[in-house]
Amino acid sequence: MSDLPRKAVTRTAKLAALPLGFAGRATWGLGKRIGGKSAELVGRELQQRTAEQLFKVLGELKGGAMKFGQALSVFESALPEEVAGPYRAALTKLQEAAPPMPTRTVHSVLQERLGEDWRDLFQEFDDKPAAAASIGQVHRAVWADGREVAVKVQYPGAGEALLSDLNQLSRFARLLGPLIPGMDIKPLIAELRDRVSEELDYALEAQAQQAHAEEFADDPDVVVPEVVHQGEQVLVTEWIDGTPLSEVIADGTREQRDRAGQLLARFLFSGPARTGLLHADPHPGNFRLLPDEKGGYRLGVLDFGTVDRLPGGLPPTIGTSLRMTLEGEAEAVYDMLCEEGFVKESVELDPDAVLDYLLPIIEPMLVDEFTFTRDWMRSQAARVADPRSPAHQLGKRLNLPPSYLLIHRVTLSTIGVLCQMGATVRMRDELEAWLPGFVVEPEDTDEADGTDETDEVAVEAVD
C-alpha cells in the first residue's frame, strides 16, 4: 500500500543507504584531517552530517525506523549543541507526527474491524488524523453516547514493517553509536524489537490503559483516559485536550516546565507501585499538560502499548542500592550489584571506584531539588563516553541484567525529557514516597521514637 512504505526493497534501500552515507563521510573526514583540520572539529562535522541523514531517513518511514527515532529523540539532550541545535525541531517532529495514511485505508480498516456499519458507532468522525506515529494514527471522533474519543487505527502491515526496520537498524548499530555518546545503541534496538508484538496487540494495551485509568480516576495530578472500545487493530479511548510536552519543551513557561517535570517523575515512580505496570514509552508525544480547576496543571498520559509488568512494583534493590550509594556505603553497594548481576562473577572491581562512578549519575537525588539541564546531561554522557576516563573503563565492565533493561531505558528516557524541559524537580520527594527500599521503615513506631510499651506504662503511672 502507498500509505506505508513497507515493501522490502523500498524500505531496505532507504535504511541501507545509511551505512553507505556514513562510510562516505568517514572518507570525507579522513581527507579533512589530512588537509589539516583538527580531529575534534572533523568529528563534530561528521557527527552533524550523520545526524542529518539519519533524521531525514527516519522521518520518511513509519514502522521500526520511526519507533527507533522516537526512542533516540529523548536522548537528544546528550548530543553536543552543534549537533542537537539544528535538528531539535526534526526530533520533536518524530515525537509528534508522521505522514498519515490515506482516508480510504482508514475506512477500510474500520470497516474490516468494526463492521460494515462502523459509522453508526460514532456521532462524528474526523477523517483527518490528529496524530500519527510509528505503528498507527489517531483520529478525533464523537462516540455514539456523546463522549469525545480518540480512535487509534493500526497501519496495515505495521508488524512486518517494524520487524524489518529494526532488523536492518540492528546491523548498523555500531555506526549509529557516535550520535549518543555513552549510549550502547544495539541493546536499545534489540529491546525495541522484543516489544514489537506487545505494542501491536491492542488488547494488551487496552488492559494496561484501563488499569491505569481506574487507579488514577480520582488522582489530583495524573489523568489517564478511559478505554471505550477495543478491537483488533482499533482502539477507542476517551479524548483529552492539553499541551503536548514537546510544546512545553519548546515554549513552556518556567511554571509549566517545573510542574510537568515533577508530575512526570511522580508518574514514573508511582505507576508501578499503584498498578504493577511501568509505562515504558516516555517520549514527550505521550504526555499532555492539562489545566486543573485550581489554576494549576495535571499530567495527561497516553499510549500504553509498551509497559513493563512489575507485580510487586519497582524492585526494592533499586531503592536500597540508591540509598546506600547516597550514604557512601561502597562495600554494601558493590555486594548488592554483584548479587543482582550488575557485576559478573568473572569481573572484580574496586567498590570505591564503583561508588565514584555512580555518585555523579544520582546527583539529582543528593539535594532537595535539582534543575535538569542539557549541559548536565552532556557532561554525564561525555564522562562515560571518553575512552580515556576511568568512568568509561569501569562502565565497560559493568553488566545490565535483562530484567532491569526496560527499567533502565525508561529511567534514562525520562531524565532525557526532564533535561529537554530544563525542569526543576524535587526528585528525592518522589523516591521517598514511591520507591521501595529508598527509605528505611522502622519495625514499629515504638522503636522509631526510642520508647517501648513498658516505658509508656511507667510514664502513665507517674502521671
Per-residue pLDDT reduced to its tens digit, 106-143: 999 999 999 999 999 999 999 999 987 667 889 999 99
Q: Are residues 306 and 423 in the same domain?
A: yes
Q: Are residues 297 and 387 in the same domain?
A: yes
Q: Do residues 328 and 421 lie in contact, with contact meaning Cβ atoms separated by under 8 Å?
A: no
| 3 belongs to a structural domain | no
Q: Are residues 309 and 172 in the same domain?
A: no
Q: Are residues 348 and 435 in the same domain?
A: yes
Full domain range(s) for residue 85: 8-94+168-194
- Backbone dihedral angles phi then psi of residue 237, each to the nearest 5 degrees: -130, 165
Q: Are residues 326 and 182 in the same domain?
A: no
| 12 belongs to a structural domain | yes
| 116 belongs to a structural domain | no
Length of the chain equals: 463
How many domains does one find in the chain?
2
Mean pLDDT, rounded, for 265-294:
93
The pTM (predicted TM-score) of the whole model is 0.76
Range scoring the smallest mean pLDDT among 28-32, 37-41, 443-447: 28-32
Q: Do residues 162 and 153 lie in contact, with contact meaning Cβ atoms separated by under 8 Å?
A: no
Where is pLDDT greater, at 171 or 309?
Answer: 309
Instruction: Check residue 320 and give its pLDDT.
Output: 96
Mean pLDDT, rounded, for 65-76:
56
| 43 belongs to a structural domain | yes
* Mean predicted lDDT score pLDDT of the chain: 78
Q: Are residues 258 and 399 in the same domain?
A: yes
| 230 belongs to a structural domain | no
| 2 belongs to a structural domain | no
Q: Are residues 180 and 262 in the same domain?
A: no
Nearest-angstrom CA–CA distance, 231 and 362? 43
Q: Are residues 279 and 339 in the same domain?
A: yes
Q: Are residues 179 and 248 in the same domain?
A: no
| 148 belongs to a structural domain | no
Cell, residue 30:
579522513
Q: Are residues 260 and 324 in the same domain?
A: yes
| Residue 102 predicted with pLDDT over 90 | no
Q: Are residues 64 and 185 in the same domain?
A: yes
Q: Are residues 416 and 276 in the same domain?
A: yes
Of 50-54, 384-388, 396-400, give the range with the top mean pLDDT. 396-400
| Residue 327 predicted with pLDDT over 60 | yes
Closest CA to 78 of 204, 227, 181: 181
| 447 belongs to a structural domain | no
Where is pLDDT greater, at 214 or 457?
Answer: 214
